[in-house]
Amino acid sequence: MIEASKNNTSSAIVRYGMVGGGSGAFIGEVHRKAIGIDGKATLTAGCFSRSMPLTLETGKALGVNKDRLYESYLEMAGAEAKREDGIDFVSIVTPNSSHFTIARAFLEQGINVVCDKPLTTNYEEALLLQELAKEKDLLFAVTYTYTGYPAVKQAREMIRNGEIGKIRFVNAEYPQEWLAEPVENDPSNKQAFWRTDPAQSGISNCVGDIGSHMENMISYVTGLEIDSLSARLDRMVEGRKLDDNAVIMLNYKGGAEGLYWSSQIAWGHDNDLSFRIYGTEGAISWRQENPNYLRIAKKGEHVKIASRGRDDFYNHPGSYVRLPSGHPEGYFEAFANLYSTYIDALSMKKNGTTPQGDQLDFPTALDGAKGVRFIEKCVESSEKKSAWVKFQEKKER
């Protein structure tokens, strides 16, 4: 393939605001750069910090007009809702414990929401957000980044089309090394400090932060629903208040089984999310640190490495390919793919069209609620000495 496929485009530039993501924050800058890749939305408002001087400083650096910079998210939601040129959506990039109240404030004002994961720190609050978004007919996305990779979407299409038969077993891993030592004790390491603090992170660190990515990835790619699970959450570093390593066994509805491992104390691993899915007719595997390739093993055939940009992908996954083969697409592009689809859907709604099917291919508030349920059930099982617990997902009301 000489030319990359064209990503979906939208003629309407939408306006967005951001809560969090001030100076020194990692994920806020990632969101802004990902949105900027396609140029479909412009940052026009913000409450970037709980400190107004820091919000003003960040806003000035980002070129946001001073009259669109706010001291609180409540002030921002109310003021933007009243403006004729108010924001079309808000991007929430704050610590976990504040997601619910911020998202609810903007939804209540009729403003669409994109929120970092995990969606909330408890399942009931996550369901309330999902219900509120539905009631007000607003688009709500949760940024489970890794489902934005074209190769991941190709794996999903292959499994949907029965190319590896009925799924028997799923293995997912997400090891990192960045918390192998008590770095949260260093005041300058803000990421480590808040993620290991129950008051800001919630009931789990490792499962909440990266284990939830495994749950969302497997749910997205396979369509499997968890029936029950058995989890052991560890605190490997002495004095740590929340888990930094976890092993989870799963039974899925329909008979498939699974095994997940997430760890933040695994020396030699940077951000090593991967999955291996085994069916009656073959297997598919993928690794985030080498994200442009799928390993495909079908019964009676040679093992194949499918290359994004080179090999034929189904139409929908192929539409997300941005560069020719051999030009690696990575984290920012995957993030941008989620935002691009979300913004296109939002533009369609503004123009009076209802997006459907693949036009809504981004993680929703309901997906976010499932992730929170997964976190809670893992913690429950671990506290019961790894007893098997029913997932008991509540139905959408």
pLDDT digits (tens, 9 = 90+) for 323-344: 999 999 999 999 999 999 999 9
The tokens of 286 are what? 């993928």
Which amino acid, 258? G
Q: How far apart are CA 65 and CA 83, in angstroms?
A: 14
Which DSSP helix (H) or strand (E) runs through 360? none
Beta-bridged to residue 69, according to DSSP, are 46
Backbone dihedral region for residue 157 (phi beyond 0: left; psi -120 to 50: alpha; all else: beta): alpha
pLDDT band at 5 (very low <50, low <70, confident <90, very high): very low
Rounded-to-integer distance, Cα 207 and Cα 235, Å? 12
Q: Pick the residue with more confidence: 393 or 30?
A: 30
* Beta strands 226-234; 389-390: pairing state: antiparallel
**Within 10 Å of residue 392's Cβ, how many Cβ atoms?**
10
Tell whether the model's pLDDT for residue 257 goes beyond 50.
yes
The dihedrals phi and psi of 149, each to the nearest 5 degrees, come to: -75, 135
Which residue bears the tokens 């009656």?
A: 280
Q: What is the DSSP string of 180-208?
A: SS-GGGSTT-HHHHHHT-HHHH-S-SHII
Domain architecture of the chain: domains with CATH = 149-322+365-383 (3.30.360.10)
For every residue of 121-164, DSSP letters joined together read SSHHHHHHHHHHHHHTT--EEE--GGGGSHHHHHHHHHHHTTTT
**What's the confidence (pLDDT) of residue 2?**
42
The answer, yes or no, to whether residue 393 has pLDDT greater than 90, is no
- The predicted structure's pLDDT at residue 389: 98
Look at residue 346 and tell me whether its pLDDT is greater than 80. Answer: yes
For 260-270, what is each residue's pLDDT tens digit? 999 999 999 99
Report how far residue 292's alpha carbon sits from residue 310's, in angstroms, rounded to the nearest whole number: 10
Q: What is the pLDDT of residue 12?
A: 56
Residue 192 backbone dihedrals phi, psi, to 5 degrees: -65, -40
Say how far apart CA 261 and CA 175 lie, in whole Å.
7
Query: Residues 46-63: what's their mean pLDDT?
Result: 96
Quote the strand ranges of 253-358, DSSP E: 257-263, 274-279, 282-287, 293-298, 304-307
Cα distance between residue 99 and residue 199, in whole Å: 13
Name every residue whose Cβ is closer than 8 Å to that of residue 311 and which is 6 or more positions away in sequence: none
Q: pTM of the prediction?
A: 0.93
Q: Is the pLDDT at 24 greater than 90, yes or no?
A: no
Say if residue 3's pLDDT is above 60. no
- The answer to whether the CB of 47 falls within 8 A of the CB of 73 is yes
